[in-house]
Amino acid sequence: MPIRRLSVRGVRNLAPLDIHPHSRVNFIYGDNGSGKSSLLESIALLSSGKSFRSTQIKQLIHHDADRLELECELDGTTGADAQTQDLYSLRLRNGDVLFRLDGSVLTSQAQVATRLPVQVIEPNTFRLLVGSPEDRRQFLDWGVFHVEPGFIEEWRIFRKVLKQRNSVLKQKEVSWLDVWDGGFIEASEKIHQYRLAYLKVFVPQFESTLAALDAEIKVRLHYYPGWEKDSQLKDILTRQQDRDLQLGYTQSGPHRAELRIRVDKLPAADVLSRGQQKTVVAALKLTQGILYKQSCGNAPIYLVDDLASELDSRHRLALCQVLEDLKCQVFITSIEKQQLMDSWTPSEFKVFHVEHGKIEEESLP
Ligand SMILES: Nc1ncnc2c1ncn2[C@@H]1O[C@H](COP(=O)(O)OP(=O)(O)OP(=O)(O)O)[C@@H](O)[C@H]1O
């Protein structure tokens, strides 16, 4: 669901702002340090309660403020949501994040995540390739979670069983392991099957999206379920039991799954240039949006920060074309307005200029 109105208070250098973005493309331009990324960060924060730039979200609060407050009205445009409007807000004070929907407090991250799905493509986006397996596992699970409604409940069950098994391992209560292992294996298998089903549609779509961005980059996705593929998890748990007891945690299972991204047999991060890495990560994130749209009817909102960073004009054009085809709401930033306009001429758009933390919508000829 696109954002119809956005209100931001107390974020970094941004002056209090109320804007009415376009339901499709929003060009945001301004000098270095003007506040473009802070605007996109505000939207990402509304979506996930996290920043894509700072691990400590308290750092987002304006130096002179004691809290930040974000609010948006979301438009329902398709299906059962047609013509509806949700008022969705986030308040951060003293480290506590409070989400509200139409005045009612949202209590679980899942409730929040389904309201406002957002994908971010920003200068550090290549870190998905070079970062930890956990980053890629979370990326994969974002897609599974949004496309497979049953996944979140199975994931909760799995986390619970894993916690119990680890607690048994820490207490060295060997006799209890047999009791927990049955449940652990069953829950692991369900998570594994959800991920497999998602990847079955994800991989071919990724290959065609990447080809649309750059037909010369050849990468392969390899899914590692968290244990040796050709072995039964039951046998592995038995084999690793002594070491698990020593360590006090479970070494194998879906919590150790990974999406490995390779060029031939090498990690893509070791072979590809920075621009190629960004293109691959953009293809991964666009693929998630395409599958999300196929499943839910609406595409996620895309935040593309500093379009020009690492991408030449051919790749910028190709990326914008995929976004155009996706018909999603996009917030896209650049220092130069002309560079945005040269990369994309959408039929419907708004332009916002950011200067010293103030945002003005420009009237179009
Ligand atoms: N907590 C804060 N309070 C006030 N100002 C802050 C805070 N955190 C960062 N800033 C300032 O906010 C400004 C906006 O930064 P931002 O990254 O949004 O700019 P930008 O327009 O994206 O710049 P660039 O084009 O260089 O990426 C910077 O000048 C930064 O120093």
33 CA distance to ligand 1 centroid (A)?
5
283: number of CA atoms within 13 Å, CB side? Answer: 29
Alpha-carbon span 44 to 136, nearest angstrom: 18
- Is residue 33 lining ligand 1, measured as CB closer than 6 Å? yes
What residue owns the CA closest to ligand 1's atom 26?
A: 32
Whole-number pLDDT of residue 365: 74
Summarize pLDDT for 124-151 with one digit per residue, the tens: 988 899 899 999 999 999 999 999 989 9
- Residue type at 325 in one-letter notation: D
- Show the 3-state SS of 317-354: HHHHHHHHHHCCCEEEEECCHHHHHHHCCCCCEEEEEE
pLDDT at 107: 84
- All domains of the chain in start order, with CATH: 1-117+300-365 (3.40.50.300), 131-297 (1.20.1050.90)
The answer to whether the annotation marks 94 as part of a ligand binding site is no
pLDDT at 79: 47
Helical (H) or strand (E) element with 255: none
Is any ligand 1 atom within 6 A of the Cβ of residue 30? Answer: yes
37 lines ligand 1 (CB under 6 A): yes
- pLDDT tens-digit profile of 170-192? 999 888 888 889 999 999 999 99
Atom 30 (ligand 1) nearest CA? 33
pLDDT score for 78: 44
* Dist CA 238 CA 245 (whole Å): 11
For the stretch 95-129, what's the b/e string if a residue is b when 16 or more beta carbons lie within 10 angstroms of its beta carbon? eeeebebeeeebeeeeebbebbbbbbbbbbbbebb
Encoded tokens for 57: 């979200």
3-state secondary structure 144-185: HHHHCCCHHHHHHHHHHHHHHHHHHHHHCCHHHHHHHHHHHH
Q: Is 309 in the pocket of ligand 1 (CB under 6 A)?
A: no
- Tell me the whole-structure pTM to 2 decimals: 0.94
pLDDT of the residue at 315: 96
63 lines ligand 1 (CB under 6 A): yes
Query: What is the number of other CB atoms lying within 10 angstroms of the CB of residue 18?
Result: 11
Per-residue pLDDT of the chain (365 residues; tens, 9 = 90+): 899 999 999 999 999 999 999 999 999 999 999 999 999 999 999 998 889 998 888 899 999 999 999 999 998 644 455 555 678 888 887 778 888 888 888 888 778 888 899 999 999 988 899 899 999 999 999 999 999 989 999 999 999 999 999 999 999 988 888 888 999 999 999 999 999 999 999 999 999 999 999 999 999 999 999 999 788 999 999 999 999 999 999 999 999 999 999 999 999 999 999 999 999 999 999 999 999 999 999 999 999 999 999 999 999 999 999 999 999 999 999 999 999 999 998 889 999 999 999 999 998 87
Q: Where are the alpha helices (DSSP H) in the chain?
A: 36-48, 109-115, 127-130, 133-147, 151-171, 174-213, 233-247, 268-271, 274-296, 313-326, 337-343
Contact 361/19 with Cβ under 8 angstroms? Answer: yes
Q: Is 178 annotated as a binding residue?
A: no
Give the pair of three-digit tokens for residue 333: 């930033």
